[in-house]
């Protein structure tokens, strides 16, 4: 079993800030990515999508993989 590619947390945070869910997708969490993207899309229709942008950014920064290694900061 190969280890996932290490990506700097700052890169993941920037990706998530530009498009909610993209940071989660780059972390290998496609279901979380779909949740963040779907909520952002739905809430931008109501003009409060910036809330999900902030949540998505915070989630990428706080996430620690279960396999014991951390993404670079």
pTM of the shown model: 0.59
Q: Which of 27, 22, 29 is nearest to 53 (CA)?
A: 22
For residue 48, pLDDT over 80 is answered with no
pLDDT tens per residue, range 8-41: 788 888 888 788 889 889 989 999 999 989 988 8
For residue 60, pLDDT over 70 is answered with yes
For residue 70, pLDDT over 80 is answered with no
| pLDDT at site 25 | 92
Percent of the chain with pLDDT over 90: 11
CB 67 within 8 A of CB 1: no
């Amino acid at each position: 079993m190969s280890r996932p590619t290490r990506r700097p947390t700052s890169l993941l945070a920037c990706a998530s800030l530009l498009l909610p869910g993209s940071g989660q997708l780059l972390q290998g969490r496609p279901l979380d990515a779909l949740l963040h993207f779907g909520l952002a899309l739905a809430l931008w229709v109501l003009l409060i999508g910036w809330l999900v942008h902030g949540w998505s950014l915070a989630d990428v920064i706080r996430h620690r993989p279960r396999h014991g290694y951390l993404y670079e900061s």
